[in-house]
Amino acid sequence: MQTSTSMQLDKKLNSTKIVLAQKGFTLIELMIVVLIIGVLSKIAMPSYVDYVKRGKAAEATSTLADLRVKMEQYYQDNRTYVGGNCAPASGAKYFTYSCTAQTATAYTLQAAGKASEHMGNFNFTVNESNAKTSTFDGTSGGTCWLTNKGSTC
């Protein structure tokens, strides 16, 4: 016959064995965690890439607006657009800027995305009448500058 002290000792030993047997993670649990991380990254990555592209496209719209003001100031001083500065002095990282049609009374400023910066499907234009066109990641906008993929004017 066991004494009460002996029975208590047996209970403690059995509970210790159970605790010691359950250390670590099983392979199934680890695979479930890897699956969850994979699904989350599959959802998050496209959104993040679109977010980064929207940030890079902001360079074009702000620089073109600035260049348009400078062209109008040049016209006020010289009564012609010919010879006006069609490119920013510095800071152009994701786009190449140019005048595609520059005459005494008209101009069209263009910002073409650099393929080396993953912006090759982007193009923005503005003219002396403030008529705007854009292609945002392959989506064409008629009379405005698109600000995100799938948007419309």
- Token digits of residue 100: 């595609």
> Which residues make beta-bridge pairs with 127?
108
Is the alpha carbon torsion for 58, 60, 63, 67 positive or negative?
negative
Ranges assigned E (strand) in 69-106: 95-102
Radius of gyration of the chain (CA): 32
pLDDT interval class at 18 (50, 70, 90): low
Confidence (pTM): 0.73
| Predicted confidence band of residue 139 (pLDDT cuts 50, 70, 90) | confident
Cβ distance 81 to 102 under 8 Å? yes
